[in-house]
Amino acid sequence: MGEGVSGLTVVNGLGRYPRTRPRRLRGAEWSRKLVAETHLSTSDLVWPVFILDGEGQREQVASMPGVERLSIDLLVEAVGEAAALGIRSVALFPKTDPSLKTSDGREATNPDNLMCRATRALKAAHPEVGLFCDVALDPYNCDGHDGIVKDGRILNDETVAVLLKQSLVQAAAGADVIAPSDMMDGRIGSIRDALDGAGFEHVQIMSYAAKYASAFYGPFRDAVGSGGALKGDKKTYQMDPANTDESLREVAMDLDEGADMVMVKPGMPYLDIVRRVKETFAVPTLVYQVSGEYAMMKAAADNGWLDNDAAVLESLLAFKRAGACGIFTYAAVEAARLMRGC
């Protein structure tokens, strides 16, 4: 033990100033990169995209600068460009024509719905790109809820029965990952059994296991056109932002029921949950940088209050540092360009 160095500082691997100067390692780029503990790569990114009916159609999402809804033909092109930049997976979200929305959300189980047509087209054009298909009723339900609503209540088991059928049409269309974002109880086990029974045992399930009832989903609801329709809130099925132990119970249940990967959502305000889930279960843990987080960054950057490029990359690196293996982000394509320097 050197002079002036206490037992505690030796245990912590720290010496004492002026012999030890943490700034020494930060002095040059090569050195900072050499000792970096976390790395971000384009393989970590999952790009969520919004699909529109028709051909040659593109629409800006007003509350998400730089994000567009695309018709299938344009989406196929855009995903090809993203793949060329190193993005390996995409998550699909449809904007359903209001005339197809019903109180039972039956369009969700139509094998020719927008989601299934997009899945088939993308799999045909870009078979190497992983496709995450969202399972929930909100894009198809005239109440804007993720489940079936009766007398103001969101029915659990009746909803799960529909989600099974939705999962099966998506798997048949070519989904690589079924991604239930609905937060009904027991849906992972039921979906796993249904997939296995239909010969889709190779299809993965990524459960939105710790999904919070968050104010940060607002712009997404504009993007899929469910926001105006939403009656009330989602607090009877999505988690209370006050809770963390509960997220561990949710994740434990979903893993027990057969989830291959779990998701924590939203992202930036919930990094403590990402860390706790990862440390407790040591399973692939993804995180969603949701629409409101994206909108906040863009609004600040557009006002000149934040350096957009630096803020985007720092926010994504922080998810990796917290323990996430994958990040859903609307900034995936711009981040890939930044990482590649193009």
Asked if residue 224 lies in contact with residue 94, where contact means CB atoms within 8 angstroms, the answer is yes
Residues facing residue 165 across a β-bridge: none
Please say which residue, 132 or 200, places its beta carbon nearer to ligand PBG. 132
At its nearest, how many Å lie between ligand PBG and the CB of residue 113?
15
Between 145 and 192, CB nearer to ligand PBG: 145
Query: Judged by CB, which is closer to ligand PBG: 42, or 141?
Result: 141
> Is residue 134 part of the contact set for ligand PBG (CB under 6 A)?
yes
Q: Is 314 annotated as a binding residue?
A: no
In the residue annotation, 298 being an active-site residue is answered as no
CA distance 197 to 293: 39
Among positions 47, 212, 217, 270, the unique one binding ligand PBG when judged by CB under 6 A: 217
Residues 283-322 that bind ligand PBG (CB under 6 A): 290-291
- Of residues 95, 101, 234, 265, which has the active-site annotation? 265
Segment interacting with ligand PBG, rule: CB under 6 A, options 24-32, 132-140, 198-206, 242-250: 132-140
Q: Which stretch binds ligand PBG (CB under 6 A): 26-34, 169-177, 215-223, 334-342?
A: 215-223
- Given the complex with ligand PBG, which of 5 and 229 has the nearer CB atom? 229
Q: Is 146 in the site for ligand PBG (CB under 6 A)?
A: yes
User: Measured at the alpha carbon of residue 332, what is the angle toward residues 286 and 251, in degrees to the nearest 5?
Assistant: 10
Residues 178-197 within binding reach of ligand PBG (CB under 6 A):
181-182
Question: Which residues in 226-245 contact ligand PBG (CB under 6 A)?
Answer: 234
**Catalytic choice (95, 101, 211, 298):** 211
- Find the shortest distance in angstroms from Cβ 182 to ligand PBG: 6
Pairing of strands 58-60, 68-71: antiparallel
Closest to ligand PBG by CB, 71 or 181: 181
Q: Are 234 and 260 in contact (CB under 8 A)?
A: no
Q: Does 101 qualify as catalytic in the annotation?
A: no
Q: Is 107 in the site for ligand PBG (CB under 6 A)?
A: no
* Residue 166 in contact with ligand PBG, rule: CB under 6 A: no
Q: How far is the CB of 238 from ligand PBG (least distance, A)?
A: 6
HEC states along the chain?
Answer: CCCCCCHHHHHCCCCCCCCCCHHHHHCCHHHHHHHCCCCCCHHHEEEEEEEECCCCCEEECCCCCCCEEEEHHHHHHHHHHHHHCCCCEEEEEECCCHHHCECCCHHHHCCCCHHHHHHHHHHHHCCCCEEEEEECCCCCECCCCCCEEECCEEECHHHHHHHHHHHHHHHHHCCCEEEECCCCCCHHHHHHHHHHHCCCCCCEEEEEEEEECCHHHHHHHHHCCCCCCCCCCCCCCCECCCCCHHHHHHHHHHHHCCCCEEEEECCHHHHHHHHHHHHHHCCCEEEEECHHHHHHHHHHHHCCCCCHHHHHHHHHHHHHHHCCCEEEECCHHHHHHHHHCC
**Given the rule CB under 6 A, which of 28-36, 102-110, 134-142, 278-286 is the region that contacts ligand PBG?**
134-142
* Cβ at position 14, least distance to ligand PBG in Å: 41
What is the C-alpha separation between 211 and 192, in angstroms, rounded?
20
CA distance 33 to 45: 21
> Minimum distance between the CB of residue 9 and ligand PBG, rounded to whole angstroms?
44
Asked if residue 212 binds ligand PBG (CB under 6 A), the reply is no
- Residue 220 within binding range of ligand PBG, rule CB under 6 A: yes
Using CB under 6 A as the binding rule, whether residue 254 contacts ligand PBG is answered as no
Which residues are catalytic, by number? Answer: 211, 265
* Residues annotated in a binding site for Mg(2+): 250
Residue ranges binding ligand PBG (CB under 6 A): 134, 136, 138, 146, 181-182, 217, 220-221, 234, 290-291
